[in-house]
Structure 1
């Protein structure tokens, strides 16, 4: 059964990647890979995990809070070094650059160097 207006208006036109159920309607792994290539990033399993975490967070929160998101990413990747590790794999910032690759609009304040962007 159709769940979104896009599915109602264009039945069968969209096919979401089952691995990314909270992804925006116009997002695909191919679009993320193309954007990553433009930013000189090769997407690894950890990149995909962060992208999925961002998409899930945005799906569950109407008004994303950059500090909460930053802290959640830090906790989710704690065993690998937390936010420091995420800055290594997302040199443009885990929130700002991660959101771009996830097809999401970064939350207000994400371009602040202290919260998630070095650009």
Structure 2
């Protein structure tokens, strides 16, 4: 297989903002999410993926990245209150669930996040 003409898209050679969020959502893929998560010191579990996929769907449906409050309320409606509470989400994404999940999901940083 000749790979000379293929461009390898890694996190390093993609366009990002000053905080490392992808500038183009179309650049995102699962391998890239795994690479970003690794840089964030996160080993992705099935629950991480539920949140990542959820925030991507939310973004493309409403054209906005969910804030923390929006994320918790919306994900609890879809997945359930018993598991997806703020304490658990912070265990998954210790630097901030809305902020870190969005970064790994390849969508813009939530507007109200510092």
TM-score interval (norm. to shorter): 0.5 to 0.7
Contact 1:73 1:83 in 2 (8 A): no
Q: Report the Cα distance in structure 1 between the residues aligned to 2:100 and 2:29, rounded to whole angstroms.
A: 16
Q: Does 1:103 align with 2:90?
A: no
- Return 5+ residue gaps in structure 2 as ranges: 1-24
Partner of 2:97: 94
Q: 1:29 to 1:92 in 2, by over 3 A?
A: same
Distance 1:70 1:79, change over 3 A: closer
Q: Does structure 2 retain, via aligned residues, the 8 Å contact 1:86–1:94?
A: yes
- Structure 1 length as normaliser, TM-score? 0.65
- Over aligned residues, Cα RMSD in angstroms? 1.8
Against the structure 1 CA distance between its residues 63 and 45, is the aligned structure 2 distance closer, same or farther, given a 3 Å change threshold? closer
Counting matched residue pairs gives 88
- Measure, in 1, the Cα distance between the counterparts of 2:92 and 2:50: 12
Q: 2:39 maps to what in 1?
A: 38
Deviation at 1:70, TM superposition (A): 3.6
Which ranges in structure 1 are unaligned for 5 or more consecutive residues?
1-23, 112-119
Distance 1:94 1:109, change over 3 A: same
Question: 1: CA distance between counterparts of 2:36 and 2:102?
Answer: 11
Deviations 1:44-81 (A, max 9, x none): 00000100000010011124452323421344352225
Q: Provide the residue aligned with 1:68 in structure 2.
A: 70
